[in-house]
Structure 1
Amino acid sequence: MAVAKRVRVKICGITRPEDAVAAAKAGADAIGLVFYEPSPRAVTIEQAKLIIKNLPAFVTTTALFVDADPVLIKQVIDEVKIDLLQFHGEETAEFCRQFSRPYIKAVAMQADTDVMQLAEIYKDARALLLDTYKPGVPGGTGEVFNWQWIPKSSMKPIVLAGGLTLENIQRALAIPNVWAMDVSGGVELEKGIKSPQKITDFIQATL
């Protein structure tokens, strides 16, 4: 008997406890907390602690960094008790694996990006997150890249990010070899402020 595929969903750029709770109640598998000050969705360690304090069990908490100082990363791990690390900069595999948490590596997709090679380089990553390339903007662009660049198979689970919305989720779900969807701007009222209804509608559309 065939087993139905269930695509996982991460709601990224959470800045408020109520948005995290709304994501959990809607069925999100994970939330993302951005520790990158230039981002309009950035949180402090104290904000992150309050957000996680309100989360129910079985929701993975993810900390996003962009070429961060290892001291900050270790502080977040120690104080926030985060589950998973997400690296969005030029971090090497050696850098990513030095911490006491599993990690995923974001890839800024271009026509010549070799996802298979990156899967080998970051061979201990739990997944590769494929996002839209935009010079000087490490994620959160709200723009979609060419999904035809996604390989039909990969040594690593693929997380799709970049411009996902309720309007294009069905097309995204038709892409083979995608393990999870990572959405932020597509479920917001404004940058950093999520819409519980949009979160619910988005997750329901993936089922």
Structure 2
Amino acid sequence: MTTRVKICGLGTPETLAAALEAGADLVGFVHFAPSPRHLGWPEARALAAQVRGRAERVVLLVDPDDATLRAALESVAPDLIQLHGRESPERVAAIRALSGRPVMKALGIGTDADLARIPDYAAADRLLLDAKPPPGAALPGGNGLAFDWRLIAGTRLPAGWMLSGGLRPETVAEALARTGAPAVDVSSGVETAPGIKDPALIAAFVAAVRSSAAADRREGHLPMGDTEAGLASAPRGV
């Protein structure tokens, strides 16, 4: 199965076009005022219209109230809602019911205890495993940090889970080899400054993922993350 690629935090027509031309499977638009990638609804609406079915549209929200959720649905018409805050399992289920759209819940991973929360979020259609932000961080994600991939060794992960956190064009192939992730998400790893996406880095990231997948097929490696399955151990030093 082809590894799916999400480019998140897109903010201009040029960088969105670069993601689409590179072959990204999902494109993400952030609505969270503290983020340097924040889009108001008029900007998000214009960019979402540019996608025209070439990729899945994802809107990233952080602890949204119902009014924000309605605005996101009206402006972006997302194929997927990404929740990147402290949403409870009950709130995730409520958002899924209210929106009628698939929901992806981001979980910050720093210790084994964080992984123990995975079964609680069975109502989510997908899970995104990201690095837990450091103490005092202003943002819940997009901090350019990776978590220790050894933590997910042997963990039963739901189909379609997505790996995020500190991925870059030069590291994503190793991340895929060590985790068997069926999908990857990148934001700061294709930027030259916070919120400033680089079309060349976007193209390089997608190309690195596609090259890694092609190499796995040639060598007969089977993805470990397509279904609920244990993951091979990854050494430290990532």
Question: TM-score scaled to structure 1, two decimals?
Answer: 0.91
User: Is structure 2 residue 116 aligned with structure 1 residue 113?
Assistant: no
Question: Which runs of 4 or more aligned residues in structure 1 lie more than 4 Å from their structure 2 counterparts after TM superposition?
Answer: none
What TM-score do the two structures reach when normalised by structure 2? 0.80
Instruction: Indicate if the aligned counterparts of 1:24 and 1:56 stay in contact, CA closer than 8 A.
Output: no
Consecutive unaligned residues of structure 1, counting only runs of 5 or more, are none
Which digits, 9 at most, give the CA deviation of each residue in 1:13-68, with x for residues without a partner?
11112211110110000111111100011001100011111113231111111112
Please state which structure has a larger fraction of its residues in helix: 2
Q: Quote the Cα distance in structure 2 between the aligned partners of 1:177 and 1:122.
A: 21
Q: Which has the greater radius of gyration?
A: 2
Q: Which amino acid aligns with 2:5?
A: V
Name the residue aligned to 2:217: none
Q: Distance in 2 between matches of 1:39 and 1:181?
A: 21
> Matches of residues 1-207 of structure 1 in structure 2 within 5 Å?
5-98=1-94, 99-115=99-115, 117-134=116-133, 135=135, 136=137, 137-152=139-154, 153-207=156-210
- Hey, what's the Cα distance between the residues in 1 that align with 2:209 and 2:78? 26
Given that residues 127 and 158 in structure 2 are in contact (C-alpha distance below 8 angstroms), is that contact kept between their aligned partners in structure 1? no
How far 1:123 moved relative to its partner?
1.1
Question: 1:7 touches 1:181 (CA, 8 Å); kept in 2?
Answer: yes
SS of residue paired to 1:182: strand
**Mean CA deviation greater in 117-126 or 164-173:** 117-126
Is the Cα–Cα contact under 8 Å of residues 104 and 127 in structure 1 kept in the other structure? yes
CA 1:172–1:11 in 2, change beyond 3 Å: closer, same or farther? same
Q: In 2, are the aligned partners of 1:33 and 1:64 still within 8 Å (CA)?
A: yes
Report the Cα distance in structure 1 between the residues aligned to 2:67 and 2:59, rounded to whole angstroms. Answer: 14
- AA in 1 matched with 2:199: P
Kindly tell me the number of residue pairs found equivalent between the two proteins. 202
Q: Structure 2: which 5+ residue stretches go unaligned?
A: 211-238
Following the alignment from structure 1 to structure 2, what is the Cα–Cα distance between the partners of residues 103 and 191? 26
Percentage of identical aligned residues = 37
